[in-house]
Amino acid sequence: AQTVTQSQPEMSVQEAETVTLSCTYDTSENNYYLFWYKQPPSRQMILVIRQEAYKQQNATENRFSVNFQKAAKSFSLKISDSQLGDTAMYFCAFMIATSYDKVIFGPGTSLSVIP
């Protein structure tokens, strides 16, 4: 069975600073995808960034980047130049490539950006 673990239930960061959210996962599959989703208090789940397991290069989307360590099964999210709008729940998620959108989510990390 696949599982996703986020060991930080809550985090906070000063505006304009950098913060890293941790995620580990467990799978015996070799072909899969990893995601970070953001869910603000308004509850709309937003895809922040995706990483294909077969790619060694870490994905980057503007201020968001990941550190993907396949052997360690680790997938952390770094948010640079934090903004007040980054305040949200962040979910790490995993999907086997052939699983037809069956995404497995972690329990989430609540991030607060402090002015």
Partner 1 sequence: DAGVTQSPTHLIKTRGQHVTLRCSPISGHKSVSWYQQVLGQGPQFIFQYYEKEERGRGNFPDRFSARQFPNYSSELNVNALLLGDSALYLCASSLEGLAGPYFGPGTRLLVL
Closest contact distance (angstroms) between CB of 93 and partner 1 is: 8
Q: Contact with partner 1 (CB under 8 A): which of 13, 23, 82, 108?
A: 108
DSSP conformation letters of the chain: --EEE---SEEEEETT--EEE--EEE-S-SSEEEEEEEE-TT---EEEEEEETT--SPPEETTEEEEEETTTTEEEEEE-S--GGG-EEEEEEEEETTSTT-PEE---EEEEEE-
Please report whether residue 44 would count as binding partner 1 according to CB under 8 A: yes
Is residue 107 a contact residue for partner 1 (CB under 8 A)?
A: yes
Residues found near partner 1 in the complex (CB under 8 A):
4, 33, 35, 37, 42-47, 50, 52, 91, 93, 95, 97, 99-108
